[in-house]
Each structure stands twice: as C-alpha cells, then as structure tokens.
Amino acid sequence: MTDNTALGFDTLQVHAGAEPDPATGARQIPIYQTTGYVFRDAEHAANLFNLAEVGYIYSRLTNPTVGALQTRIAMLEGGAGAVCCSSGHAAQLMALFPLMSPGMNVIASTRLYGGTIQQFSNTIKKFGWSAKFVDFDDTDAVAAAIDENTRAVFCESIANPGGYITDIDAISAITNAAGIPLIVDNTTATPYLCNPIEHGATLVVHSTTKYLTGNGTVTGGAVVDSGKFDWAASGKFPSLAAPEPAYHGINFYEALGAMAFTFHSIAIGLRDLGMTMNPQGAHYTLMGIETLSLRMQKHVENATVLAKWLENDPRIEAVTYAGLESSPYNHRVAKICPKGAGGLFTITVKGGYDACVKLVESLELFSHVANLGDTRSLIIHSASTTHRQLSDEQRAAAGAASNVVRLSIGIEDVKDLIADMDQALTKATA
C-alpha cells in the first residue's frame, strides 16, 4: 500500500502509511507512546546507526506513529520522503538546516505569514543566515536577488493572510536556472488544492497544525522532499553531498540518493535540534487527514459564497479572495490550485483599525483565535496580533494593513456565516 502511487487522493488520505498493526491486527494506527526500542542484537543496533538498515532507535528521531504520518504526507504531496516535527516554524528551520551555513541567504516572498517574516528577518541571523525579501510577482526581481551565497528560495502556494496565489512555475524556472532549491509552504492550500512538486518545488513545508489536522487540537510541522534535486551538481550543499562530519563522514546523497534530505533531517536535524513531533499529535493529524478532501471542498465552497457576498457589501472596501473574478490572482487558480482558491482571505473594512477591532469583538460564530484551517470559521486582526511585530511597510506588503482582518472560513452552513458577518459589520461600522 505505501508504495502504490497509482491510488487516488481520496484513497491515499485514508490508507497511505496505515497498515494493520502486525502484533494485534488493530486497523487504526496505534499511538506508540514509547521513547526507546529494543535492538535485536549489537549488529542490528550498529546497522541502524550506520543507516544501513531502516528501523527505530529513539523517539526523538523516529516513531512508528509519526512514521505513518510522514509516509501519508509524502505520498499525498508526491514526494520521495518526509520528516515531521513539532510545528510549522520548526519545519521551516528543518527545511533550511541542511542547506545553509553562516553567510548564506534565502530569498523570501514579501507575502508570507508574519511569524515567518519575523523568523527570517531576525531569528535566523543568530545562525549567521540572512533573508532577502522580494515581491514574487516581480520575477525579474527574484532572479536578480539570487547571488553566489543564496541557498534557497521560499514562498507560500496560497499566501497567508491575503490568499494570494504564487506562480510556482515561474519561480521554479528561476530556481532551476540558478541551481537553487525552491521551498514552498503549502499549508494554506494543502496537497488537495495544490501540488507544488508538480510545479517544480524541491521541498514542501507544512504547518500540520492547520488544514491537515483540521480541528485545532495539536501543533505540528512537516517537510517533504521531492527527491528530484541534484544536491551534488553545484558543490553548494556539502551537508548533503560531501562527507558530513556531523554523522561520521557519510555522504548522504551518495549513499541515499533521493532520500538524502529526509535521512539527513532525521539523523542530524531531529537528533541535534530536537524539534520532535509527539506520537499522539501525529495520531490526531492522521485522523484529520482522512477527511481532508471532504473538508477542503467545503472550505472552498463556503469561502467562495462568503467572499462574493462581502465583495458586494458597501461596508467592505476590498476582498482579496483569489476565487473572485475581480482578483488579480484569479487567472492562477486554474493552473496552480485547480480545485479551488482555498478558504483563507482578507477583507478591508471601512472605518479602519477601530472598525476591525469592533468587528472581531461582535462576531458570534467566528472565533477570534490565532489559527487557521479549523473546521470552525476564524477571524483575526493581523495588524494587532500575528503581524504586530512588523513595521507598517512590512504589514502592508504582507497584506495585513491596520484596516484588514483575516478570515479562515470553516465548514458551517454558509447562510449562518453570512448572517453573523452581517450583524457584526452593522455594529462595527455604525
């Protein structure tokens, strides 16, 4: 089952990585709540540590429940392998970790989640890395920003918070010409709406906290490797394609080929950074993924109806949903996200900052939380919360100006969502 890539998405989201438990016959994947695993003998232990045999050593590195989730996500994304970790922010660091070294930089889209902009603007400097932020609609600027020290290019398939769709094909053409890996955060789209690897992405990252789990219960992250990048071609990625001193001199790409990045992330990334996903969290996410396609269809359906209603409401200045014909990104939906533009977008409220705050406080069905991708509809005023640490210019570039709120549309009855929004807007703009 885990090798059968001919199966459809709806089948894979239920069955990939989910074999009956060999000891008990349990049909649902057990939660393997254990830290250690007994080795058969000394040779078995040595083979595991030498990466000569696949198995379980210690749950900071590998765990059967987490392993099942890694298999499922990798297959849904069409990747060679995946590694799961403790959060989406951890996944971003895990993606960069084998690629970067002091003095190196990443080219990042200006349209990113505020926490990512913060992580790339400030935190990664502590590793000696840096980021250059570019408007990814300006492909010439993206190409010009790449220099001899660039080791990755990073964007989101559907950008948070505005719901903007990135032309991944155009960006991957640039990264391919430069011999640089393209990392795409596919959290907002999920593999059901978008497959970045088909459009040329090297690595795909997720905050599994969001749509993959879908119920607001656990945090988690994942990095999927396409298995298609030649890490040895340029000499720029010695951690993957040269003797790695952090793991007794093994050349991961030479030894493991398409699985080099995944094994490096487990053997060194999780070992040394320790950003491990717990097995119970993995179990919740596995159960959430079983209904991913059903939920995403409803998210898209509801978002489309509500966005059209809001676009025609005189109390709203603008709606950023790419599924609207008026959106400058609408032409990318069919190519990048053919099953829909997702369930996330922003609205600009007449009355500015104060009206946004009043709107958030007046809603009854929408929950005011710093999350997205839940079955429940969610709202947040990004300028005063998730993007608060950014400058006015950065917030504007990211689509999170002071008169903007972000909506994550759930799977409720859309008529009820419209009624709730209507009464709250009346109070907010009175």
Higher pLDDT, 329 or 2: 329
DSSP per position, 328-375:
TTHHHHHHH-TT---SEEEEEETTHHHHHHHHHHH-SSSEE-S--S-S
The last residue of one of the domains, among 236, 257, 288, is 288
Which residue in this structure is represented by tokens 């298609």?
228
Query: Are residues 276 and 341 located together in one domain of the fold?
Result: no
Query: What mean pLDDT do residues 72-91 have?
Result: 98
1 belongs to a structural domain: no
Q: What is the pLDDT of residue 384?
A: 78
Write out the residue range of the structural domain in which residue 140 sits.
9-288
Query: Are residues 235 and 354 located together in one domain of the fold?
Result: no
Q: What is the pLDDT of residue 120?
A: 97
Query: Are residues 266 and 318 located together in one domain of the fold?
Result: no
Per the prediction, the chain carries an average pLDDT of 94
Q: What is the pLDDT of residue 1?
A: 41
Q: What is the pLDDT of residues 344-374, one digit of tens each?
A: 999 999 998 899 999 999 999 999 998 999 9
Query: Are residues 404 and 297 located together in one domain of the fold?
Result: yes
Can you tell me the distance from the alpha carbon of 161 to that of 98, in angstroms, rounded to the nearest whole number? Answer: 28
322 belongs to a structural domain: yes
157 belongs to a structural domain: yes
pLDDT of residue 329 exceeding 50? yes
Query: Are residues 281 and 323 located together in one domain of the fold?
Result: no
Residue 212: CATH number of its domain: 3.40.640.10
Query: Are residues 261 and 331 located together in one domain of the fold?
Result: no
User: Does pTM surpass 0.85?
Assistant: yes
Cis omega (within 30 of 0) for bond into 161 = yes
| Cβ-proximal residues to 204 (8 Å cutoff; 6+ apart), any chain | 77, 79, 183, 184, 185, 186, 191, 196, 197, 223, 224, 226
Q: What is the pLDDT of residue 25?
A: 87
Which segment of 239-248, 249-258, 352-361, 391-400 scores lowest on mean pLDDT?
391-400
Which residue in this structure is represented by tokens 């060194």?
268
Cα 270 versus chain centre, distance = 18
pLDDT of residue 2 exceeding 70? no
Cα 29 versus chain centre, distance = 24
Q: How many domains does the chain have?
A: 2
pLDDT of residue 339 exceeding 50? yes
Query: Are residues 116 and 191 located together in one domain of the fold?
Result: yes
234 belongs to a structural domain: yes
Q: What is the pLDDT of residue 38?
A: 96
- As a residue count, the chain comes to 430
Q: What is the pLDDT of residue 5?
A: 58
The last residue of one of the domains, among 260, 288, 316, is 288
pLDDT of residue 401 exceeding 50? yes
The last residue of one of the domains, among 233, 253, 288, is 288
- What letter would DSSP give residue 384? G
Q: What is the pLDDT of residue 402?
A: 85
94 belongs to a structural domain: yes
Q: What is the pLDDT of residues 161-206, one digit of tens each?
A: 889 999 999 999 999 999 999 999 999 999 999 999 999 999 999 9
pLDDT of residue 6 exceeding 90? no
CA distances in angstroms from 37 to 60, 165, 199, 270, listed in the order given: 12, 44, 39, 17
Which residues are registered as beta bridge partners of 225?
Answer: 81, 203
> CA angle, corner 202, sides to 201 and 208, nearest 5?
80
Q: What is the pLDDT of residue 236?
A: 98
394 belongs to a structural domain: yes
Q: What is the pLDDT of residue 364?
A: 96
Strand pairing report for 81-85 and 221-225: antiparallel
Task: Provide the pLDDT confidence category of residue 393 given band limits of 50, 70 and 90.
Answer: confident
Query: Are residues 176 and 309 located together in one domain of the fold?
Result: no
Q: Residue 356 corresponds to which tokens in the numbers above?
A: 């946004």
Angle between helices 64-77 and 279-289 in degrees, nearest 10: 40
415 belongs to a structural domain: yes
pLDDT of residue 24 exceeding 90? no
66 belongs to a structural domain: yes
Query: Are residues 168 and 20 located together in one domain of the fold?
Result: yes
Residue 381: CATH number of its domain: 3.90.1150.10
Query: Are residues 114 and 216 located together in one domain of the fold?
Result: yes
pLDDT of residue 399 exceeding 80? no
Query: What mean pLDDT do residues 236-244 have?
Result: 98
| Cβ-proximal residues to 75 (8 Å cutoff; 6+ apart), any chain | 2, 5, 12, 16, 17
Query: What mean pLDDT do residues 112-124 have?
Result: 93
Q: What is the pLDDT of residue 407?
A: 96
Query: Are residues 195 and 225 located together in one domain of the fold?
Result: yes
Q: What is the pLDDT of residues 304-319, one digit of tens each?
A: 999 999 999 999 999 9
Burial degree of 187 (CB within 10 A; 0-12, 13-18, 19+): buried
Query: Are residues 53 and 197 located together in one domain of the fold?
Result: yes
Given a contact cutoff of 8 angstroms between Cβ atoms, the answer to whether 236 and 151 are in contact is yes
